[in-house]
Amino acid sequence: MPRAALTGTRIRARRNLRGLRQAELARVVGVSPSYLNLIEHNRRKVGPDLLSALAHALGVSSDALVEDTDARLVEGARAAALRCDAELAELERIDEFTGRFPGWSKVLAETQARVERLERVVEQLNDRMTHDPYLGEALHEIISAVTSVQSTASILNDSGEIEPDWQTRFHQNILQDSARLAEGAVALVNYLDAGKTEETGLAAPQEEVEAWLAARDFHLPQLEQGDADIAAMVQGQIELSSDASRALARQWIGRFQADTLALPLDKVLAALSVHGFAPDALAQQFNVRFDQVLRRLAMLPPKACADLGLPAPGLVICDNSGTLMFRRGVEGFALPRFGGGCPLWPLYQALQRPHQPMRQRLVTAGRLGRSFQSYAYAATEVVLGFDKPTVLQASMLIIPADSANASELGAPVVVGASCRTCAQMDCAARREPSILMSATESADAL
Amino acid sequence: MEKRVLVIEDEPNISEALRFILTRNGWQVDVSADGDTALGALRSDPPDLLILDLMLPGISGFDILKSLRAQDGTRDLPVLMLTAKGHAADRFEAERLGVTRFMTKPFANAEVLDAVRELTAS
């Protein structure tokens, strides 16, 4: 979005707001009315001195005339318009709209962002409902009672003469099922209500934390200063609806804060501009553990990465139970929402070789397989004592691989997200049939 | 001769309603709330139709269906599966295992009657 285009429109809007004629403003800032006219119609760029003079004359700061948020406002307004199937003619005037009404544009962009966040929350709640065993059982109970009431009521209504004994029994059954239905409904409402404030929330805490981070592009700018108020960061956040999710978020933020302190942003970006994504070089340079580098690389400002021509990476972290504790997806590399991932992921291979950095090229299974470079590392996180189990955690960074240099990365391993959705039918590591298989293939697969 | 229908359903009020409707319409109805017990009777003396609930305590409707289809005497027994689980995945699984008809709860009595008439017609 050319900044000048919005600046001119904004100058005109501010002038009109103050009731100044074009000629008056031109005289005050020392340019001809025709030149100012060209500026206001976005046909001439505004130099810094003139911009300062215009801002002074209009009683605003220069920033108010050339805000950095222009592109974000335009994109927010565009996203809102596209969602509503706006007329294309109106869409073409989006620059004018954001230029003339920056305040309203900000409201629109923020409302749009809020809608997107809420939609993500709804999607997760929906997912959770599908997989929640208590909900499944409660709904089954209610449907059973409804079935009985409906069938029995229908008999009483449609069957003409019914013997008195049967009538009595059916009335009793309906009474019994009605009570059961009422109890079931109250229990269900209580369960759903509890989800608003307690740990029995509909979305699992991990899902809520991931949704919260995803809404921020997995970058928390407050941490870059090193003195973030972590408790304040998690208060009043839409996505973090339970005490458990806020506690988990605080735990992760604390970890990320330590990462930013050990790997300061400016120095990391400088190193990236030299090495690209090279976790080994960074670990050596900053004298930190390899997995700390992997986490840091997954939490960089997206714009800074884009400026260096680097894609946003994905990250998964698991403990030695194989449970995925943290998921940052990357386009083309699907991560499972539930259960474990693909057993061929280097993430799990790293668990078998703790403290050994691993690098592996990956290709996703399927007709449109995508290429990725992965780095994995596992380390001991908790030592319980002599002769006690230790707890390991493994991290895997997933970077979209440029097809141009893919051949330099060695032979790829074909991987999926999880067996359930994997298209690699003849995989020796398969632990359950894929939903993409036919019934016969499923029977033969194991 | 009356045709025999066995209902395996653990909800007593549903099985009672089914028994009443079917008996009144000329079928001989036996009811079982337990799949394990019913399986033995099914093998030794198969009915003309089985109405089978999916979610049962102990052995599930899928397990019963699978077991019936593996036995010569019950391989072709018509099975009407009634379930509160209406997910497409459950329907596919029932069809894969050889269900004759799949019906979700809550059902209309007339709908069940039509299905039973059709499945016991031959």
This model of the complex carries an ipTM of 0.89
Domain range holding B103?
Answer: 4-119
Residue with tokens 């003079």: A53
For residue B74, the domain's CATH number is: 3.40.50.2300
Residue A263 has pLDDT above 70, yes or no: yes
The strands making up A324-328's β-sheet, listed across from edge to edge, are A324-328, A314-319, A390-400, A371-383, A358-364, A413-415
Same domain, A401 and A359: yes
Report pLDDT digits (tens) over A49-105.
Answer: 898 899 889 887 777 777 555 666 777 777 777 777 655 556 777 777 777 787 888
The number of domains in chain A is 3
pLDDT of residue A161: 81
Q: pTM score, two decimals? A: 0.49
Domain range holding A21?
Answer: 3-107
Cβ partners under 8 Å of residue B89, min gap 6: none
Per CB-CB distance under 8 Å, the chain B contacts of A179 are none
Low-confidence stretches of chain B (pLDDT < 70) are: 1, 86, 122
Answer whether residue A426 is part of any domain.
yes
Tell me which of A173, A197, A221 is where a domain ends.
Answer: A197
Question: Which of A139, A158, A173 lies nearest to residue B13, judging by beta carbons?
Answer: A173
Answer whether residue A437 is part of any domain.
yes
Q: How confident is the model at residue A134 (pLDDT cuts 50, 70, 90)?
A: low
Tell me which of A197, A215, A230 is where a domain ends.
Answer: A197
For residue A28, the number of C-alpha atoms closer than 13 Å in the C-beta half-sphere is 16
Residue B11 contacts A, CB cutoff 8 Å: yes
Q: Which of residues 86-105 of B touch A (CB under 8 A)?
A: 96, 105
d(CA A390, CA A378): 12
Per CB-CB distance under 8 Å, the chain A contacts of B96 are 439
d(CA B77, CA B65): 10
Q: How far is B41 from chain A (nearest CA, A)?
A: 26
Same domain, A96 and A149: no
Q: How far is A326 from chain B (nearest CA, A)?
A: 29
Same domain, A430 and A360: yes
Report pLDDT digits (tens) over B33-62.
Answer: 988 888 888 888 899 999 999 988 778 899
Cβ partners under 8 Å of residue A160, min gap 6: none
Average pLDDT over residues A19-48: 87
| For chain A, percent of residues with pLDDT exceeding 90 | 31
Report pLDDT digits (tens) over A93-127.
Answer: 777 777 778 788 888 878 877 887 777 777 666 66
Per CB-CB distance under 8 Å, the chain B contacts of A436 are none
Cβ distance A439 to B96 less than 8 Å, yes or no, reads yes
Same domain, A351 and A405: yes
Per-residue DSSP letters for B23-61? Answer: HHTT-EEEEES-HHHHHHHHHHS--SEEEEESS-SSS-H
| Per-range mean pLDDT, top range of A25-39, A156-170, A191-205, A363-377 | A25-39
Cβ distance B85 to A140 less than 8 Å, yes or no, reads yes
Cβ distance A151 to B18 less than 8 Å, yes or no, reads yes
Residue A304 has pLDDT above 70, yes or no: yes
Same domain, A326 and A375: yes
Residue A87 contacts B, CB cutoff 8 Å: no
The number of domains in chain B is 1
Answer whether residue A239 is part of any domain.
no
Question: Which of A139, A151, A439 lies nearest to residue B17, judging by beta carbons?
Answer: A151
pLDDT of residue B40: 85
Answer whether residue A280 is part of any domain.
no
Q: How confident is the model at residue A338 (pLDDT cuts 50, 70, 90)?
A: low
Q: How confident is the model at residue A195 (pLDDT cuts 50, 70, 90)?
A: low
Same domain, A95 and A170: no
d(CA B71, CA B98): 13
